[in-house]
Structure 1
């Protein structure tokens, strides 16, 4: 048992070293990585499609890497935005690791990329333990998944620096208990920002992009953690051409906060090539 624990610690330590090297290499280029975690079917790809399209419209140079056990379906969807996209096929591995990510980025990530969005494997268990060199960790949960998700997956939600609630247009038919969900988030991650989104209505469009750009500009990804739990008031950016009244009363807290070496063959759905700092 001890030997297994020691091996796990060694693997995680190796991954953390690689992650820090990747973070420093990206910073030297003026870029940051954003790690998106969720269970399958939460709407990561749909949300990312919107954010990539908005980035292109605004002239923000971004790139995206999407990981799946099989198929390149998500990469094809994301590539429609016109930004550089690459698919990672993990061949059964349930998470990404920093060494794998560095292997995929070397020689592919465009030199001018300001943001790298990483759509992790759909899983709230294994990916939560692996730092990918991200500067912003985002966890998504759809209203159809149940309000207890933060309690069932405390590592994923507890290390998130932003929580996105997706598919909120389905909240009423799904019987989503907003107060219970926010209270559960606050139990594992007091004060973390919660943003509501809907790919169908456009609610929350651009919130992820704005937060990522703010972190790149120097805004701390981790907000000060409160000493006592409090439910964070969800941030709802105004959405043009949609009349949605989602007023709720919540206390607003100001607080919030991660191994196989498999560089695999490239599946390139984008353009632009520049070597990543190999440190």
Structure 2
């Protein structure tokens, strides 16, 4: 049953990928455990890139639209997906969210997945790249504990760097663990709260080889899906 479920998901993910690539749209699947700072990172990213990229966001949570409301405050379009008891987004959910978001050709879509370092790693959405966010408050052993997530990552962001003086977190040890699993993974250390290190993240978005993005434009859209 699990194999059939993943096979169906992979088929839908391939369709999503073709749909996105055909329109020149980049989609970044942003994953983390709860509280790592995904939403704070996206809000600052949208504001830093205002006028440069046309950005839309798909928000995944089990309940509420709290994170979507924070994104909406930036003036950019956002679609909320509430998964109920579900611990991840899947390709079918993304397909329906893309239909509702209706991103313009050449734009950039950030997908904020449900907070979880296990299930989201198993489900391809059809995204252009996968970004894993961890925070220094979680401990530096996350790559060892959740290897599948780090094996799937194109970029690992170590967030909340402003708290490094106050917590036990060895950045070099964490990076070594991640690259032992995934030698080609990019790693950035930053603070989405203070903005320190954000330039590296913004440059990674700009230079990402998965298609170019257009200049921002169009009226904000918002909505919600229950799946």
Task: Provide TM-score, normalisation by structure 1.
Answer: 0.73
Partner of residue 101 from structure 1, selected from 71, 94, 106: 94
How far apart, in 2, do the equivalents of 1:107 and 1:162 lie?
Answer: 27
- Runs of 4+ more than 6 Å apart: none
**CA positional deviation for 1:114:** 1.3
**CA positional deviation for 1:197:** 1.2
The within-5 A match list for 1:21-32 is 21-32=15-26
Check whether the contact 2:30–2:38 (CA below 8 A) recurs between aligned residues: yes
Determine helix, strand or coil for the equivalent of 2:134. Answer: strand
Q: Unpaired runs of 5+ in structure 2?
A: 213-219
Q: Unpaired runs of 5+ in structure 1?
A: 1-6, 220-269, 274-279
The within-5 A match list for 1:188-203 is 188-203=181-196
Partner of residue 153 from structure 1, selected from 111, 136, 146: 146
1:140 aligns to what?
A: 133
Is 1:118 aligned with 2:68? no
Is 1:186 aligned with 2:179? yes
How far apart, in 1, do the equivalents of 2:73 and 2:100 lie?
Answer: 22
How far apart, in 1, do the equivalents of 2:199 and 2:23 lie?
Answer: 23
Check whether the contact 2:16–2:126 (CA below 8 A) recurs between aligned residues: yes
How far apart, in 1, do the equivalents of 2:222 and 2:59 lie?
Answer: 17
Partner of residue 36 from structure 2, selected from 29, 34, 42: 42
1:88 aligns to what?
A: 81
How far apart, in 1, do the equivalents of 2:95 and 2:114 lie?
Answer: 16
**CA positional deviation for 1:30:** 1.0
Check whether the contact 1:51–1:206 (CA below 8 A) recurs between aligned residues: no
- Structure ranking higher in strand proportion: 2
Number of residues paired by the alignment?
A: 217
- RMSD across aligned positions (CA): 2.0
How far apart, in 2, do the equivalents of 1:196 and 1:43 lie?
Answer: 13
Check whether the contact 2:139–2:168 (CA below 8 A) recurs between aligned residues: no
- Structure ranking higher in helix proportion: 2
